[in-house]
Homo-oligomer: A and B are copies of this chain.
Amino acid sequence: MGSSAADGNGSVDKGVDFANYFCTYGFLYHQKEMLCDRVRMDAYYNAVFENKHHFSGKVVLDVGTGSGILAIWSAQAGARKVYAVEATKMSEHARQLIAANKLQHVVEVIEGSMEDVVLPEKVDVIISEWMGYFLLRESMFDSVICARDRWLKPDGVMYPSHARIWMSPIRSGLVDQKIRDYDGAMEDWHSFINDTKTFYGVDMSALTKPFDGEQKKYYLQTSIWNNLHPNQIIGKSVIIKEIDCLTTTVDDIRVVQASVSSSITEETARFCGFGGWFDVHFRGSEKNPAQQEIELTTAPDQDFGTHWGQQVFLLHPPQYLGSGDELTINFSMSRSKLNHRLMEVDLSCDIKQTSGKLLPPIQKKFYIE
């Protein structure tokens, strides 16, 4: 749908982008979900307040201020001026919140798309919480890059300064559940076909193939949000992408490609697919380093999950592997043609067992919706 509204690069017109993407950010309910993510909040809070030298007396730009929280912290850490840009009507709540916290003389809320906003001066710091599921979903980092290239001073710093995408082989009961769901949907379809023929005289079986494709995509090819437990990780975690927020261009992230090797670390493990997550770091810049480096990780953690969870890419059927079995992974993630904020992943995996035996190669397409 909506192909009419997408240009060749898969970016969509503004109205559609508001309907599909910005819409949810206009609700305090959704902002609150982010504000209740303690791992996220602690990381940004510590990044700002343990590195006051980056903020004190400085000019800061908060890209996508939402409720205004990062702008407020920047001001509390001593910023001379904070520009807080927000595309949705949440800007009005940010303005209210900032006034209630008596920071309206420091923080200026600007309602608009970062891409369109004109600031009266360049800035020393860009702070932004732009990370989507699996880091790049939402493609919001594009807006941060745009802001950086237009408004960051030559020796300015980025908050966060670095980001990485990770993957790891996992075990997961979801693989059985999704197969069951898919099988159930198809069984149901077949009895629907029978009923429609019997009661209404129409043979619907011509649609079995497209329906099957739709259900396969939904149940088996869509990556799944999940809070993985660390003991579901059955092999070596590998880095798929590293981003230096100060220098990365949109072209660098439009397609993420990686050829990496991992290996199974458990004696025997049911290999069900891959888990993916990200981390970001606050290190300042080379010229202007952080006093205290802070990390925000969304890796599987027994105690502290984040609202990002992990993305799970399931492989069917699961296979039993053993310690030392080697996985050669080819990973390619690009933006969906119809909506540049969603992603498509091509994943292939060759498995060489310690015995020397090569398993049949796996190749699969996934959608991050």
Contacts and interface: CB of A to CB of B under 8 A. Distances in A.
A31 B23 CA distance: 26
B1 A206 contact: no
Nearest to A68: B202
Interface in A25-82: 26-29, 32, 35-36, 38, 41, 45, 67, 69, 72-73, 76
Contacts of A35: 192, 196, 204
A97 B218 CA distance: 22
A4 interface: yes
A76 to B, nearest CB: 6
Interface stretch (A10-18, A127-135, A138-146, A245-253): A10-18
A12 B4 CA distance: 15
A93 B32 contact: no
Contacts of A215: 29
B23 A203 contact: no
A154 interface: no
A15 B5 contact: yes
A148 B189 CA distance: 35
A91 B361 CA distance: 37
Interface residues of A, number: 55
A215 B28 CA distance: 9
Given A16-B19, A19-B16, A28-B214, A97 B206 contact: yes
Interface string A166-200: 00000000000000000000000100100110011
Given A32-B189, A211-B28, A206 B22 contact: no
A93 B29 contact: no
A302 interface: no
B28 A2 contact: no
A360 interface: no
The secondary structure that dominates the A interface is: helix
B192 A41 contact: no
A18 B16 CA distance: 8
Task: Choose among A4, A35, A69 the residue with the greatest number of B CB atoms under 10 Å from its CB.
Answer: A35
Contacts of A4: 14-15, 18
Contact of A19 (B2, B199, B203, B218): B2
B93 A210 contact: yes
Given A93-B210, A202-B101, A36 B192 contact: yes
A97 B204 contact: yes
Contacts of A192: 32, 35-36
A302 to B, nearest CB: 21
A292 interface: no
Interface of A: 1-2, 4-5, 12-16, 18-20, 22-23, 26-29, 32, 35-36, 38, 41, 45, 67, 69, 72-73, 76, 88-89, 93, 96-97, 99-101, 189, 192, 195-196, 199-207, 210-211, 214-215, 218
Nearest 9 pairs of A and B residues by beta carbon: A5-B15, A100-B206, A19-B19, A2-B18, A15-B16, A1-B23, A28-B211, A1-B26, A16-B19
29 contacts: A1-B23, A1-B88, A2-B19, A2-B23, A4-B15, A4-B18, A5-B14, A15-B16, A16-B18, A19-B19, A28-B211, A28-B214, A29-B214, A29-B218, A32-B192, A32-B211, A36-B195, A41-B199, A45-B199, A67-B207, A69-B200, A69-B202, A73-B201, A73-B202, A93-B207, A96-B210, A100-B205, A101-B202, A101-B206
